[in-house]
Amino acid sequence: MFRRWLFVVITLMFATSVCAAKDKNSIQIKGSDTMVNLGQAWAEEFMKKNPTDFVAVTGGGSGTGLSSLISGTCDIAMASRNIKEKEISLANKRGINPNEIKVALDGLAVVANPNNPVSKITIDQLAGIFTGKIVNWKELGGKDEKIVILSREVNSGTHVYFKEHVLRKNDPNSKEEFAPRALLLSSSQAIADEVAGNTATIGYYGMGYISAKQKPIAVAKDEKSEYVAPTIENVVNGKYPISRPLFLYTNGTPEGPVKKFVDFTLSKEGQNIVLATDFVPVSR
């Protein structure tokens, strides 16, 4: 008799808790690992100002975020690359209309271990290293060590951007790929940790991940150009050759709580948060 009552009470508790969760406006944001810290900073500030709204931010890579938007399992996708043609057509097949909103700019920093004597590289040399044609640091004037190439996994917008703009030098017909022996690590933080601990490594990630444990390398477009370091200034004035826009993608024009959030990210406060997380504001 008692057991039956217990069962009823527990069922009611579950039922009411489910209903209570539905009252809050909740926004699911998924995607770029580069932008995940920025996304979380935005979410925290946004939820402070709008206590009835709930924002959940997860990483997983730009590819994961866009795939999630297409499958309908998130409201906003963060991406550090443009959406591909194939993704747009897959989305349209499923009735989703991707809407692109540029929210920040990012410089892609190339980093090495602080004990590595090399501090300047041209884009051609970078392409040579990451496609596997240049194998030893001594070819660049460094120590006699085999270069250990660190890259992000294939679901990363950073990976795709680096491949298209550095390895393939913006040539849509190029077939260059990362060297098979490149280590594919699961996050920018993993790359940062490995670079900090290994003198033969070279890696890349968004400027926001640079810390004192890694050395950012100055990059030049070619041998005659200036070698430019990845700083916010150099991204804003266009001197740093590997910089890219960061996007939020929504299904159609944003409405309701999603619109509130997107407007917040583009507002003065939102762009200040962009600056605070070491990215470059888009409306300055």
Partner 1 sequence: MRKLKEFIIEKLILICGLASIFFVMLIFIFLLKEGLAVFKIVSPFKFLFGKSWYPISEPPQLGILPLILGSLLVTLGAAIISIPIGVGCAIYIAEIAPLKIKETLKVGIELLAAIPSVVLGFIGMVTLVPLVKNLFHLPTGLTALSGSIMLAFMAMPTIVTIAEDALYSVPKTYKEGALALGAAHWQTIWRVMLPAASSGILAAVMLGIGRVIGETMAVMMITGNAAVMPNSILVPVRTLTATIAAEMGEAVVGAEHYFALFAIGIVLFVISFAINVTADLFLHKRQQ
Query: Is the separation of the CB atoms in 147 and 129 below 8 Å?
Result: yes
CB of 35 or CB of 185, closer to partner 1: 185
Distances in Å between the Cα of 161 and the Cα atoms of 84, 113, 246 are 11, 23, 11
φ/ψ (deg, to 5) at 138: -70, -20
CB of 153 or CB of 269, closer to partner 1: 153
Give the separation between CA 255 and CA 196, rounded to whole angstroms: 44
Give the separation between CA 200 and CA 111, rounded to whole angstroms: 11
CB of 150 or CB of 274, closer to partner 1: 150
- Least distance (Å) from partner 1 to the CB of residue 178? 8
Give the separation between CA 76 and CA 42, rounded to whole angstroms: 13
CB of 162 or CB of 264, closer to partner 1: 162
- Least distance (Å) from partner 1 to the CB of residue 179? 9
Query: Is the separation of the CB atoms in 246 and 80 below 8 Å?
Result: yes
CB of 4 or CB of 86, closer to partner 1: 86
CB of 13 or CB of 154, closer to partner 1: 154
- Least distance (Å) from partner 1 to the CB of residue 79? 12
- Least distance (Å) from partner 1 to the CB of residue 200? 5
Q: Which residues bind partner 1 (CB under 8 A)?
A: 60-61, 63-64, 66-68, 70-71, 86-87, 90, 93, 145-148, 153-155, 160, 175, 177, 180-186, 194, 197-198, 200-201
- Least distance (Å) from partner 1 to the CB of residue 234? 30
Q: Spell out where 92-230 has E strands.
A: 98-112, 120-122, 148-152, 183-185, 201-206, 215-216, 218-220
- Least distance (Å) from partner 1 to the CB of residue 48? 30
CB of 83 or CB of 262, closer to partner 1: 83
**Cα angle value 44/216/29 (rounded, 5°):** 25
- Least distance (Å) from partner 1 to the CB of residue 232? 29
Give the separation between CA 272 and CA 284, rounded to whole angstroms: 10
For residue 80, give the H/E element and its range.
Answer: none
b (16+ CB within 10 A) / e for 29-45: bbbbbbbbbbbbbbbeb
CB of 246 or CB of 273, closer to partner 1: 246
- Least distance (Å) from partner 1 to the CB of residue 49? 31
Could you tell me where the DSSP H helices lie in the chain?
2-23, 36-49, 62-71, 85-93, 123-131, 157-162, 188-197, 232-236, 256-266, 268-276
